[in-house]
C-alpha cells in the first residue's frame, strides 16, 4: 500500500473548498491527515462541508475582495496559528461568446476572481508560509491556461495569467523553500462543465449532445477527467513526495491538444 504521512497535521487553506473540485481536494487532504480550512462565497456550501467533514474550518470570503482576504487569513491564524499550504482553487467560468459580445463587467469579474484572487491570497499567505512546515502553494489553472479557447477568451486569459504568476512566484520564493506549482485540469466531469457545455451549445446554436461529444473527443483518452484526478495531483504537490517539484505546470487532461 502507498503511504505518505507528510501531510499529517499540516495546516492547509483551500479557497472555494466547499464545493466542486475544491471540496474533493479538501476531502483528499483530510484523508491524508491535514488540518484544512476552506473559504467560499456560498454560505450553504460552507454549512454542508462542515457537516460532511467535521473538523474542517469554514470561513465565508470572496477571494477577489481585499478586506475579505485579510479577514480570512486572520481567521486561519485564529484556528491554526499559522499556515503550511495554500491551495488557490477559486475560479469562475466567466462569459461565453465572441469578443464583441463580452461586457467589461464580465471580463473584469473573471480576472478579479481567477487571478487577482490568487494574488491577494498568495500575498497574505507568504509571510505565514515562511514560518510553515515544508510550505507550498498550488494554483489552479486549466488546460485553457496553455491552449487557446474560442468563445472563452476571458477565462483563458485569466488561466494563462495563473501560469505566469506561478512561474514568477516559484523563482521569487524558491530560496525561501516555498514551492509553487500549478495544476491544469482538462474538462472535469461535474455540474460546472455541464453548465459550460450548455452555454456553448446555446451560443453556437448546436445540439447539446454534439457539443458534449466534442468536449470528450478533444482528449486523446476520449474522456473527461474526474475531480479525484485533480485532488490526487494537488495532494501529491502539497506532500513531501513532491519535495523537488517546483514551478511546474502539471497538466491533468488526458492529453488535450485543442479546446473548442
Ligand atoms: N470544472 C472544470 O472542468 C475545470 C477545468 C479546468 C480548471 N478548473 C478550475 O478548477 C477550479 C475549481 O473549479 P470548479 O469547477 O470546482 O468550480 P465551481 O464553479 O464548481 O465552484 C466551486 C466553488 O467556488 C466558489 N466560488 C466562486 N467564486 C468565488 C469567490 N470569488 N471566492 C470564493 N469562492 C468562490 C463557489 O461558491 C463554489 O462553491 C477553478 O479555478 C476552475 O477554473 C475547472
To the query of whether residue 215 is one of the catalytic residues in this protein, the response is no
Mutate to test the pocket of ligand 1, among 14, 18, 20, 228 (most ligand atoms within 8 A of CB): 20
**Within a domain: 142:** yes
| Tally of residues, the chain | 260
Tally the C-alpha atoms within 13 A of residue 97's C-alpha that lie toward its C-beta.
Answer: 12
Check whether residue 217 and residue 241 sit in a common domain.
Answer: no
On whether residue 4 sits in a domain, the answer given is no
Ligand 1 atom 25: residue of nearest CA: 16
From CA 174, how far away is CA 94, in angstroms rounded?
A: 32
**Catalytic residue, candidates 39, 59, 90, 155:** 155
Same domain, 117 and 152: yes
Check: CB of residue 70 under 8 Å from CB of residue 177: no
167 & 203 share domain:
no
Instruction: Count structural domains, the chain.
Output: 2
pLDDT reported for residue 122? 99
25 lines ligand 1 (CB under 6 A): no
pLDDT, position 2 = 74
| Residue 45 in domain | yes
Q: Which residue is closest in CA terms to ligand 1's atom 8?
A: 142
> Is 72 found in the same domain as 54?
yes
Q: State whether the beta carbon of 242 lies less than 6 angstroms from ligand 1.
A: no
Per-position pLDDT tens, the chain of length 260: 778 999 999 999 999 999 999 999 999 999 999 999 999 999 999 999 999 999 999 999 999 999 999 999 999 999 999 999 999 999 999 999 999 999 999 999 999 999 999 999 999 999 999 999 999 999 999 999 999 999 999 999 999 999 999 999 999 999 999 999 999 999 999 988 888 889 889 988 999 999 998 889 999 999 999 999 999 999 999 999 999 999 999 999 999 999 97
Task: Find the domain containing 207 and state its range.
Answer: 187-224
Domain assignment present for 3: no
176 and 62 share one domain: yes
Amino acid at each position: 500500500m502507498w503511504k505518505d504521512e507528510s501531510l499529517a497535521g499540516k495546516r492547509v487553506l483551500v479557497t472555494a473548498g466547499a464545493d466542486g473540485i475544491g471540496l474533493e481536494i479538501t476531502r483528499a487532504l483530510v484523508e491524508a491527515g491535514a488540518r484544512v480550512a476552506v473559504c467560499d462565497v456560498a454560505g450553504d456550501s460552507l454549512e454542508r462541508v462542515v457537516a460532511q467533514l467535521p473538523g474542517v474550518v469554514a470561513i465565508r470570503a470572496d477571494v477577489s475582495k481585499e478586506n475579505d482576504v485579510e479577514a480570512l487569513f486572520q481567521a486561519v491564524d485564529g484556528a491554526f496559528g499559522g499556515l503550511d499550504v495554500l491551495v488557490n482553487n477559486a475560479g469562475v467560468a466567466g462569459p461565453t461568446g465572441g469578443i464583441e459580445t463580452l461586457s467589461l463587467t464580465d471580463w473584469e469579474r473573471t480576472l478579479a476572481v481567477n487571478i487577482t484572487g490568487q494574488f491577494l491570497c498568495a500575498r497574505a499567505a507568504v509571510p505565514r508560509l515562511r514560518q510553515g512546515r515544508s510550505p507550498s502553494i498550488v494554483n489552479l489553472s486549466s488546460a485553457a491556461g496553455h491552449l487557446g479557447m474560442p468563445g472563452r477568451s476571458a477565462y483563458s486569459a485569466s488561466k494563462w495569467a495563473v501560469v505566469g504568476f506561478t512561474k514568477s512566484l516559484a523563482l521569487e520564493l524558491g530560496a525561501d523553500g516555498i514551492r509553487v506549482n500549478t495544476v491544469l485540469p482538462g474538462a472535469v466531469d461535474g455540474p460546472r462543465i455541464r453548465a459550460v457545455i450548455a452555454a456553448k451549445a446555446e451560443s453556437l446554436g448546436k445540439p447539446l449532445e454534439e457539443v458534449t461529444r466534442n468536449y470528450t473527443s478533444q482528449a486523446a483518452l476520449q474522456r473527461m477527467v474526474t475531480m479525484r484526478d485533480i485532488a490526487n495531483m494537488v495532494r501529491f504537490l502539497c506532500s513531501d513526495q513532491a519535495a523537488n517539484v517546483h514551478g511546474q505546470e502539471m497538466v491533468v487532461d488526458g492529453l488535450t491538444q485543442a479546446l473548442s
